[in-house]
């Protein structure tokens, strides 16, 4: 267990260092440094970041590494987000950073990993506010970064709706920069822009009774201070009235005028302040809330906190995983999936998986993907009817599900496609995928084909199953008091995948349940 750790964050507008030390019941921050950069402006406008900017960044990181070493840290971790992630020349830039910093590699956070980290950090910082009673209420979480806006709705303590939008303040600024110079009322323009791009989210908010609104952004602490709050808190509870007053006092001011009014603002903060305030007010209006809870967004602090709070980190990771299942079920509900059938298929598939996992070294990641796929197998039926396969895959791969990466959605979509294809067809596998992913898809397909066959009637006729292997036969004993002729027929038609992938011959035996 390490005692000292350094986190370096390469963002869109700054490169930040935080050095932390494990203390008695607390984390002590030994050093903190921030240096402004313009990676976001370059990446979002032209798609590339210049080598000269990266060379300058390498000098900054080199100084940060020296500071960290002077504090005798045991580990240094460097992460980067949207600006570097979306740069077309990122692989060359990452290699330059590795070369010119003495071999230190940058961990490029995927969008889903970044948002997951932010949400976990929000709950960690707000644990005094989001009490056990309050967390059961309908709560909205929102993260505003330079590249993306991520919105989530919680119900019963879990996220069941999640949406990401390419509307971070730097991206909005690049889109609206030319219009801003020509318009006399930029606030109205920005309000209309938000309304157009947030209509789907707004519709979902209006179906809920939101009781808590928690938002995080890089300028949350500045805004809280301008609203009369003392800096340095874990979170800030600010009334609608204070927000409106602040917005009215800044209305119509240019970036230069903002800096003259508030000399502590740098140019970047002045340019993005109005965008952030307008979005906060939009959220307050949509949720009809009289209060907003602000959390300062700092990925460096999040990394340090979770490095030393392993128990809380694990608990919040489990919360994200459970939320992913909740989000998948809500997506299924949106597309009128038979929830009882999906629940039964999941239960049967997990029974088969757990029996096979030790023998065939199946892991927790595959079990998680199995559960998610079982919830989403039929999302395409509502749109595509009996020819639902292509719609299944398209809907799954383009859905926002908290904690599920783009790569994982592609795996789930492919499994759903393969399960609904009779007979099992390996040509559906993407040969460009790594071999372990192709194998995982085949294993999950074989299991789910049998599980779906065992509830083909959608009437939950089988109360439980028992599994055993005798020689090369995979014997599944189904306990039931009902007529399962339909299930038996489709079970026999679903054997091929299990034989091809596991080398086992599935055999279904019926055990009559006493009524």
> How much is the pLDDT for 26?
86
Per-residue pLDDT 10s for the chain (515 aa) are: 789 999 999 999 999 999 999 988 889 999 999 999 999 989 988 999 999 999 999 999 999 999 999 999 999 999 999 999 999 999 999 999 999 999 999 999 999 999 999 999 999 999 999 998 898 999 999 999 888 899 999 999 999 999 998 877 777 776 766 666 666 676 777 778 788 888 888 888 999 999 999 999 998 999 999 999 988 899 999 999 999 999 888 887 878 888 898 888 888 888 788 788 888 899 999 999 999 999 999 999 999 999 999 899 999 999 999 999 999 999 999 999 999 999 999 999 999 999 999 999 999 999 999 999 999 999 988 775 555 557 888 999 999 999 999 999 999 999 998 998 877 777 778 888 899 999 999 999 999 999 999 999 999 999 999 999 998 999 999 999 999 999 999 999 999 999 999 999 999 999 988 76
Query: Could you tell me the CA-to-CA distances from 439 to 149, 411, 427 in Å, in that order?
Result: 35, 11, 13
Query: Could you tell me the CA-to-CA distances from 145 to 11, 189, 366 in Å, in that order?
Result: 10, 21, 31
Quickly tell me which residue has 């929102």 as its tokens. 142
> How much is the pLDDT for 69?
97
Please state the pTM of the whole predicted model.
0.91
Q: What are residue 469's phi and psi, to 5 degrees?
A: -120, 125
Return the structure tokens found at 491: 């079970």
- Long-range contacts: 53-56, Cβ < 8 Å, 24+? 54/93, 54/96, 54/97, 55/96, 55/100
As to burial, measured by CB atoms within 10 angstroms (0-12 exposed, 13-18 middle, 19+ buried), residue 484 is buried
Query: Could you tell me the CA-to-CA distances from 260 to 117, 170, 225, 250, 302 in Å, in that order?
Result: 35, 22, 17, 12, 32
Q: Sketch out the chain's domains with CATH numbers.
A: 4-109 (3.30.420.40), 113-307 (3.30.420.150), 335-459 (1.10.3210.10)
Closest CA to 412 of 328, 475, 347: 328
List the 291-296 sheet strands across, edge first.
Answer: 158-165, 149-155, 139-144, 212-217, 291-296, 236-239
> How much is the pLDDT for 180?
64
Distance from CA of residue 333 to its chain's centroid?
A: 20
Return the structure tokens found at 23: 């203390």
> How much is the pLDDT for 215?
96
List the 75-80 sheet strands across, edge first.
Answer: 27-36, 14-22, 4-10, 75-80, 106-108
> How much is the pLDDT for 132?
86
Closest CA to 370 of 353, 388, 393, 394: 353
Q: What span, in angstroms and rounded, lies between the C-alpha atoms of 65 and 75? A: 10
Quickly tell me which residue has 């909205």 as its tokens. 140
- The continuous run of DSSP H or E covering 47 comes out as none
Return the structure tokens found at 423: 């007979």
Query: Could you tell me the CA-to-CA distances from 285 to 183, 205, 211, 288 in Å, in that order?
Result: 24, 11, 13, 5
Q: What span, in angstroms and rounded, lies between the C-alpha atoms of 341 and 9? A: 45
Q: What span, in angstroms and rounded, lies between the C-alpha atoms of 171 and 483? A: 59
> How much is the pLDDT for 342?
96
> How much is the pLDDT for 212?
96
> How much is the pLDDT for 187?
72
Quickly tell me which residue has 């035996």 as its tokens. 509
> How much is the pLDDT for 182?
66
Residue 298 CB contacts under 8 Å (≥ 6 apart), including other chains:
9, 16, 18, 218
């Amino acid at each position: 267990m390490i005692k000292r750790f350094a986190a370096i964050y390469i963002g869109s507008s700054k490169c930040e260092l935080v050095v932390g030390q494990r203390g008695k019941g607390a984390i002590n921050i030994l050093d903190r440094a921030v240096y402004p950069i313009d990676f976001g402006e370059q990446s979002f406008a032209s798609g590339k970041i210049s080598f000269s900017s990266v060379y300058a960044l390498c000098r900054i990181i080199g100084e940060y590494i020296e500071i960290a070493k002077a504090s005798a840290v045991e580990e240094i971790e460097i992460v980067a987000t949207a600006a570097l992630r979306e740069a077309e020349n990122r692989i060359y830039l990452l290699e330059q950073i590795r070369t010119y910093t003495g071999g230190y590699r940058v961990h490029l956070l995927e969008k889903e990993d970044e948002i997951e980290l932010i949400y976990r950090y929000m709950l960690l910082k707000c644990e005094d506010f989001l009490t056990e009673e309050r967390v059961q209420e309908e709560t909205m979480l929102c993260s505003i970064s330079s590249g993306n806006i991520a919105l989530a709705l919680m119900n019963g303590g879990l996220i069941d709706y999640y949406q990401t939008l390419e509307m971070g303040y730097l991206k909005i600024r690049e889109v609206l920069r030319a219009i801003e110079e020509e318009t006399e009322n930029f606030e109205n323009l920005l309000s209309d822009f938000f309304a157009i791009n947030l209509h789907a989210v707004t519709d979902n908010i209006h179906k809920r009774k939101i009781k808590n609104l928690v938002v995080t952004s890089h300028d949350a602490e500045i805004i809280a201070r301008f609203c009369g709050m003392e800096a340095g808190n874990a979170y800030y509870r600010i009334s609608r009235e204070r927000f409106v007053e602040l917005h009215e006092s800044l209305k119509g001011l240019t970036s230069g005028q903002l800096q003259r009014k508030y000399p502590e603002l740098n140019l970047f903060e002045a340019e993005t302040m109005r965008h952030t305030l307008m979005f906060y007010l939009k959220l307050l209006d949509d949720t009809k809330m009289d209060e907003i809870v602000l959390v300062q967004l700092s990925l460096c602090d999040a990394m340090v906190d979770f490095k030393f709070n392993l128990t809380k980190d694990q608990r919040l990771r489990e919360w994200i995983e459970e939320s992913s299942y909740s989000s998948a079920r809500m997506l299924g509900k949106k597309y009128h999936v038979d929830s009882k059938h999906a629940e039964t298929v999941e239960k049967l598939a997990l029974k088969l998986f757990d029996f096979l996992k030790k023998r065939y070294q199946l892991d927790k990641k595959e079990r998680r993907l199995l559960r998610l796929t079982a919830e989403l197998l039929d999302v395409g039926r509502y749109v595509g009817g009996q020819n639902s396969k292509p719609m299944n895959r398209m809907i799954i791969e383009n859905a926002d599900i908290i904690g599920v990466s783009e790569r994982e959605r592609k795996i789930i979509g492919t499994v759903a496609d393969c399960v609904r294809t009779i007979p099992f067809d390996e040509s559906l596998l993407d040969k460009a995928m790594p071999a372990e992913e192709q194998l995982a898809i085949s294993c999950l397909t074989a299991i789910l084909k049998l599980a779906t066959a065992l509830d083909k009637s959608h009437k939950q006729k089988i109360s439980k199953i028992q599994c055993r292997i005798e020689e090369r036969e995979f014997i599944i004993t189904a306990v039931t008091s009902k007529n399962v002729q339909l299930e038996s027929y489709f079970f026999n038609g679903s054997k091929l995948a299990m034989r091809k992938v596991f080398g086992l011959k599935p055999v279904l035996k019926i055990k009559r349940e006493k009524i």
